[in-house]
Chains A and B, each alone.
Chain A
Amino acid sequence: MLRTQFNSARVVEAYVGEYASGKSEMAINRALELKSQGRQVTLVDLDTVEPFYTLRPLKELLEQKGLTVIGFSRPEAFGLGETGAMLTPAARWALRREGDIIFDVGYGVYGARTLNLVEEADTSTELRVIAVLNYSRPMTGSKARIIEYIKELGRVDALVANTHLGDETTLEVIEEGTRIIIECAGELGIPVDYIAIDKKFAGEWNLELFAIPVKWITRYMPAAMW
């Protein structure tokens, strides 16, 4: 059984997208999902844009859950002042590691370009760049804005539909956003990898609505105060 896992292709994903679209949440949840399948997983904090809401405060917790986390921990960032936003050197060589690699990338066009700092990111045949979209974010709050935004981002191999309103999310909000995002994906010719939904809706969501897998999300980021 172990052998099968080692033989299966490894997962290498980079989560990009608009500010507060859910990149870190998707990266954490994806890494933990892979870990729960018995795989070896490294989660890489590539967010040099916004050191406020990053993996940093969660690093220890995630390591306890069995992930290898490349990124500064709070104690390591202590005393660095604003330069605490710099990259950990190990992040540059992350693609040379064994096992699955999940990158949490900084927001926007400039955030996405941070991937350039990772050796072999441009030549890797395994890397998939995944853009996270929340239709409730005003910058990606219409079909036209989503399409314009994704085109700006540069390379995008897949989308994740992550529409929510935090604590005020409803099934209708998720459904409307997901529908629009799927329409955009169709026009862009980019697949939607999965729909991300807070696990509290697991009993209520109609899985037949869309022919796209659903991942149930545990929200870790509300605890990630810098």
Chain B
Amino acid sequence: MLKVVDETKKAFLTGNETVAWAALAAGADIMFGYPITPQNEVMHYWTRLAPRYGRDFLQTEDEISAGFTVCGAVQAGKKAFTATAGPGNVLMQEPFGMAEAMRLPLFAIIQQRGGPSSGTVVYSQQEVALTTYGGNGEGYRIVYSTATHQEIYDYTIKGFNVAWKYRFPTFLLGDGYQAKMREPLEMYDPEEKGIKLEPTYPLVGLPGKIGEGREPQHLCNIYSLEEELYEVVMKLSADYERIAPDLVEWQEHSCEDADIIILTHGIVSRAADDAVKALRAQGIKAGYFRPITLRPYPSQQLREAIAKSGAKILLIAESSYGQFERLTKQEIYGETIKIEHLYMPGVGIVDYDIINKVKSVL
């Protein structure tokens, strides 16, 4: 097969394009998709590149189908993915739920746009609740919230691996700004970096006879009895809780002696990082904490950061109206630190927004 990345080097890309290249480098076989801004260039670039590398693409009639075709393809042992945003993410909750129920290695890129409804095509962080806990299940999903193009590249590769290793639906949660902005990143061949690509395998049509050569595959998303479902959900819970400590990822700095910890995720973390450095230069003891995984959430690590700093205030800044704060509160229930917030739904947050807010609450 033609090599996707010949040599490790810096390149200048948009976020959507980064997804397409990373998916190729990760050995994705097929993308299913339906157009929606701001993820369109994931499809544009995938469809331009896929034929060169013998990969496939299918544009489905809507997002529901795009999600279900991914569910189907992964059962056939294909490394499949989709990308969507906003209302598309809403429609895909049904197939995402199926992936949760059937433990399918589904991987989806979400480039958040403004909501509710069609909202804007531009940017927001309003798909946090939907991506972490959407659907009629218990939210057994793995969600990476990226902040840079390098992370988009790294976590696209990782996302496929994690999906196939743990078999919970896995998401890369970006946003319209990350999708469209352009910056340098290092493109590499994952295997040359020592990243093992998880093998894919069919879940159906297996050789052998059930009961003789092999066990049956229980790929099921509907049950007749309450007790059957109970057993399944309890097993899902136990499995998820067992792997959660291995999955959590976070970033933290300057928390040791912080009076105020700034909590952000995704692209807003870039503003928080700048803000903490500027505040420190002004003698204000600010700390930085950022969950990279929103599901599972690095609760223990955040609790520890609060405890060791003795900080009096946790400032949560988000481009939504409290979705990230609600998620955080349920994860650190019992902490007595005062919580302040900066809500800017659908609007970008820059360092001085955070700096001004910090100064107003200290």
Contacts and interface: CB of A to CB of B under 8 A. Distances in A.
B47 interface: no
A176 to B, nearest CB: 10
Interface residues of B, number: 24
A166 B12 contact: yes
Interface stretch (A33-41, A92-100, A133-141, A180-188): A133-141
B41 A225 contact: no
Contacts of A137: 11-13
A56 to B, nearest CB: 12
A150 to B, nearest CB: 15
Contacts of B118: 81
A220 to B, nearest CB: 14
A138 B37 contact: no
A19 B48 CA distance: 13
A19 B184 contact: no
Contact of A166 (B45, B48, B180, B183): B183
Contacts of A205: none
* Chain A interface, DSSP helix/strand/loop, else mixed: loop
Contact of A20 (B122, B182, B348): B182
B217 to A, nearest CB: 39
Contacts of B38: 52
B121 interface: yes
A210 interface: no
Contacts of B176: 52
Contacts of A168: 10, 184
Contacts of B180: 50, 52-53, 226
A165 B12 contact: yes
Nearest to B182: A20
Given A20-B13, A136-B12, A141-B11, A166 B348 contact: no
B177 interface: yes
Given A82-B37, A82-B121, A225-B348, A20 B184 contact: no
B42 interface: no
A164 interface: yes
A86 to B, nearest CB: 14
A49 B184 CA distance: 23
Nearest to A21: B12
Contacts of B11: 136-138, 141, 165
A122 interface: no
B187 interface: yes
Best-buried of A52, A82, A166 by chain B (most CB within 10 Å): A52
* Chain B interface, DSSP helix/strand/loop, else mixed: mixed
B10 to A, nearest CB: 5
A134 B12 contact: yes
Contacts of A225: 177, 348
Nearest to A51: B121
Nearest to B177: A225
B14 interface: yes
Contacts of B122: 52, 226
Interface in B1-34: 10-14, 17, 21
B21 A138 contact: yes
Contact of A136 (B10, B37, B48): B10
A204 interface: no
Interface residues of A, number: 21
Best-buried of B13, B21, B38, B176 by chain A (most CB within 10 Å): B13
B51 to A, nearest CB: 13
A173 to B, nearest CB: 8
B18 to A, nearest CB: 9
A82 B38 CA distance: 11
Nearest to A136: B12
B17 A19 contact: yes
Nearest to A84: B121
Contacts of B121: 81-82
Contacts of B182: 20, 53, 166
A60 to B, nearest CB: 19
Contacts of B348: 225
Contacts of B183: 166-167
A129 B310 CA distance: 62
A137 B187 CA distance: 11
B121 to A, nearest CB: 6
Interface in B273-296: none
A143 to B, nearest CB: 13
Nearest to A226: B122
Interface in B333-358: 348
Interface string A115-140: 00000000000000000001011110
Interface string B80-99: 00000000000000000000
A19 B183 CA distance: 13
Contacts of A226: 122, 180
21 contacts: A19-B17, A19-B41, A20-B12, A20-B182, A52-B38, A52-B122, A52-B180, A53-B182, A81-B118, A81-B121, A82-B121, A134-B12, A137-B11, A139-B45, A164-B12, A165-B12, A166-B12, A166-B183, A168-B10, A225-B177, A225-B348
Given A20-B182, A137-B13, 16 more contacts: A19-B14, A20-B13, A20-B14, A20-B17, A52-B38, A52-B122, A81-B118, A82-B37, A136-B11, A136-B12, A136-B184, A137-B12, A138-B13, A138-B21, A168-B184, A225-B177
The list of the 5 closest CB pairs from A to B, nearest first, reads: A136-B12, A165-B184, A168-B184, A52-B180, A20-B182
